[in-house]
Amino acid sequence: MMFEASPDLILVTDRKGVFLRVSPSCEVILGYSPGEMLGHSGRDFLYPADLDRTRSEMRRARRGRVMRNFESRYVHRDGRVVTLAWTGIWSEAEEKHFFIGRDVTEQRTAEELFRLAVEACPAGMMMIDRGGRVVMVNGEIERLFGYHREELLARPLDTLTAAQFRGEHAQMRAECAKPQGRGKSGKTREMVAVSKDGIEFAIEIKLTPVWIRDGLLYLAVVLDISDRKRADRLKDEFVSTVSHELRTPLTSIAASLALIKGGGLAKAADGGAKLVSIAANNAQRLVRLVNDILDMEKIQSGRLVFEVSKVDVAAVAALAIEHNRTLATEYGLQVRLNAEQGELCVKADPDRLVQVITNLLSNAIKFSPRGEEVVVAIGRRVDAVRITVRDRGSGIPEEFRGRIFDRFAQADSSDARQKGGTGLGLSIVKEIVARLAGDLGFESAVGQGTLFWVDLPCWQSGDTLSERSMEEAV
């Protein structure tokens, strides 16, 4: 009766594994009827890779060892692979094997899926015992810490964190294990971890208690937050710098107006006029700064639409020179345009190209000695047009050259501020040139001057306006 009704597969085989009796459940488990299986042996149904292992296990059974939960895979009639967990004995008296096989396919598939999910998880996962020792890790933990799995198992978790955080894990575990904390995730904490090669990196770790039959384990989910920390730091520095740059002219404006309003003008006869002039100049500086910051932000976030068309570089350069005419007069110098003969056209947004040349030109004017000449030259390269702006100023100090295109970089801030610089002009130039698929650089000799050059791709006859405009507008 039991033989007939059993959901498990019951088999009786001879010494060679030939089926002598097969329970009807074989129809469900392997897709064959008992009649089809009788007279065949296990090897006719076994998954080929498991054949030798299964034969060895049967030999051991014949030597008197009871087979318990021995798993081997079989091929179902429909081609599926089925995993059976066998319990069996060998009867020397009857010279027969008696087996009961349970279908554990679903369980094994679920386990395999779970294992694959844990391994594929982009977050580091590890299980920790009550004593803080690692009992399981996934691949991401190996990658993060640089250890092989075997090196991590049984290792105290504390050895993976920077010295100042050792001991915090025990505290986290204690909080997690509190009766009221059962089943709840602990707090997420930020720590500094240490990889196998001693490199420290920021992590976020969250412990969750996992109650199993033998007691309590903790699941630690570990995220590498180095990039986030770096981005936060850059953002903080930027906010701090912008705040500083805005407050500086604001200080002069606010103080000047307060002195005027409070009647506290200096004893000098021109005190009032001086204060008004300071307020006005710094208000202008503030406007330039805000405009530059907004331009920079729009360019970097990709929100600035570039209307790319065929641009005659000489015409754009002449326009930029015109924009700087008053400044050049104020600084007492000449600006000369020196363009090669013939058509010099590039793929660019004309307004942005004017901005590039204007920024380079106004720098050149401000840092040139009175009476000198600034030259804007345009020439043809192989497949680009080169625009250069040359001044005869004091040159760029060696130590400043590496960060000249950084935001708010000024070699000598007092000098630059007095000249109305925001520290953003060259970074804007760099961003625009990059968006126009161009190249940018400079040559400078202390005491002799500086030459900035910009190469922009030539306008080709096959170029279309719309495609490029669309691409840039995205």
Q: 268 φ, ψ to 5°? A: -60, 145
Out of 28, 254, 290, 473, the only residue in the binding site for other proteins (CB under 8 A) is 254
Applying CB under 8 A, which part among 143-151, 223-231, 333-341, 413-421 lies near other proteins?
Answer: 413-421
Q: Does 418 bind other proteins (CB under 8 A)?
A: yes
Q: Give every strand in the sheet of 200-212, ordered side by side.
A: 134-137, 124-128, 215-224, 200-212, 188-194
Cβ 249 to other proteins, closest distance in Å? 8
Nearest residue to 122 via CA among 227, 223, 226, 218:
223
Q: Does 267 bind other proteins (CB under 8 A)?
A: yes
How is residue 28 written in tokens?
């469900």
For residue 339, list its beta bridge partners: 378
Reported as type and span, the H/E element at residue 360 is: helix 350-366
Q: Does 420 bind other proteins (CB under 8 A)?
A: no
SS3 142: helix
In terms of DSSP bridges, do strands 334-339 and 373-380 run parallel, antiparallel, or are they unpaired?
A: parallel
DSSP 8-state code for residue 48? G
Cβ 446 to other proteins, closest distance in Å? 16
Out of 29, 275, 432, 433, the only residue in the binding site for other proteins (CB under 8 A) is 275
Q: Does 287 bind other proteins (CB under 8 A)?
A: no
Applying CB under 8 A, which part among 3-11, 27-35, 252-260, 435-443 lies near other proteins?
Answer: 252-260
How many residues of this chain bind other proteins (CB under 8 A)?
Answer: 35
Nearest residue to 324 via CA among 393, 385, 376, 372:
376
Q: Does 229 bind other proteins (CB under 8 A)?
A: no
Measured from the CB atom, is 213 or 267 closer to other proteins?
A: 267
Out of 225, 255, 319, 377, the only residue in the binding site for other proteins (CB under 8 A) is 255
Out of 23, 25, 105, 256, the only residue in the binding site for other proteins (CB under 8 A) is 256
Site string (393-412) toward other proteins, x via CB under 8 A: -----------------xxx
Q: Does 278 bind other proteins (CB under 8 A)?
A: yes
In terms of DSSP bridges, do strands 200-212 and 188-194 run parallel, antiparallel, or are they unpaired?
A: antiparallel
Q: Does 110 bind other proteins (CB under 8 A)?
A: no
Distance CA 347, CA 75 (A): 65
Out of 91, 251, 284, 291, the only residue in the binding site for other proteins (CB under 8 A) is 251
Out of 250, 283, 384, 437, the only residue in the binding site for other proteins (CB under 8 A) is 250
Distance CA 411, CA 390 (A): 18
Which segments of 206-305 does DSSP mark as H helices, in order? Answer: 226-261, 271-301
Applying CB under 8 A, which part among 72-80, 86-94, 167-175, 238-246 lies near other proteins?
Answer: 238-246
Please classify residue 349 by burial: count the beta carbons closer than 10 Å to its beta carbon, then call 0-12 exposed, 13-18 middle and 19+ buried: buried
Q: Does 68 bind other proteins (CB under 8 A)?
A: no
Applying CB under 8 A, which part among 15-23, 45-53, 260-268, 363-371 lies near other proteins?
Answer: 260-268
Show Cβ contacts of residue 365 under 8 Å, excluding neighbours closer than 6 positions: 324, 327, 328, 331, 333, 335, 374, 391
Q: Does 233 bind other proteins (CB under 8 A)?
A: no
Q: How far is CA 178 from CA 190, 195, 222, in A?
A: 21, 31, 22
Q: Does 274 bind other proteins (CB under 8 A)?
A: yes
Q: Interface residues with other proteins (CB under 8 A)?
A: 239-240, 243-245, 247-256, 258-259, 262, 264-267, 271, 274-275, 278, 281-282, 410-414, 417-418
